[in-house]
Amino acid sequence: KNDITFSFGQNKANISIGKAHQTATRNGRKEWSLDAASADYMDKDSQAIFKDLSVTFYLKDETMVYITASQGILKTDSNDMEIYGNVVVKNKDYKLKCENLYYKHDKRIIFSKVPVNITGDSFELVADSMSLNLNTNKALFEGKVKGTFSERFTL
């Protein structure tokens, strides 16, 4: 059951929804899907604010990247996102934690301007910032990058 509330104020219409789901596609291909406990749509600002969200990004090689967080803002005109509060990014090989990150839909890039901690089976890495290109599945870490690698680590 979805709870929907409409409120009309000066120059804006708000819609609040309990349990939200949204999917973005491009050229017939699913790029991401988002689920949240609640959503507030701000038509005037072309944005939706989600609480307790999870986002799944679908990569070209059929793998997926999962993000969970306390809150997120989706720009409805561009599909760009700002995700914040206990952010966790996971795939089959690693887990990344940070306080907030951004998604640029036109370039399919996830990036963080705040420190990140990334762990895998045979490594741990910290950096001041990072970016992940979802088209190439390549990550870039910058600023005071430190890591610990076990003997099982392979490039």
Distances from the Cα of 107 to the Cα of 8, 27, 50, 110, 129, angstroms = 35, 15, 22, 9, 18
pLDDT at position 1: 43
pLDDT at position 152: 63
If you average pLDDT over residues 9-16, what whole number do you get? 56
If you average pLDDT over residues 135-153, what whole number do you get? 85
pLDDT tens-digit series, residues 90-138: 988 899 999 999 999 999 999 999 999 999 888 899 999 999 999 988 8
Instruction: Say how far apart CA 112 and CA 110 lie, in whole Å.
Output: 7
Give the domain ranges of the chain.
Answer: 4-149
Does residue 151 have a pLDDT over 80?
A: no
Distances from the Cα of 76 to the Cα of 30, 42, 47, angstroms = 16, 9, 5
The percentage of the chain sitting over the pLDDT mark of 90, rounded to a whole number, equals 54
Does residue 5 have a pLDDT over 80?
A: no
Q: Which residues contact 18 (CB under 8 A, 6 or more apart)?
A: 1, 2, 3, 4, 37, 38
Instruction: Say how far apart CA 28 and CA 31 lie, in whole Å.
Output: 9
pLDDT at position 95: 94
The percentage of the chain sitting over the pLDDT mark of 70, rounded to a whole number, equals 89
For the entire predicted model, the pTM comes to 0.82
pLDDT at position 134: 92
Does residue 4 have a pLDDT over 60?
A: no
CATH of 4-149 among 2.60.450.10, 3.40.50.150, 3.40.50.1580, 1.10.760.10: 2.60.450.10
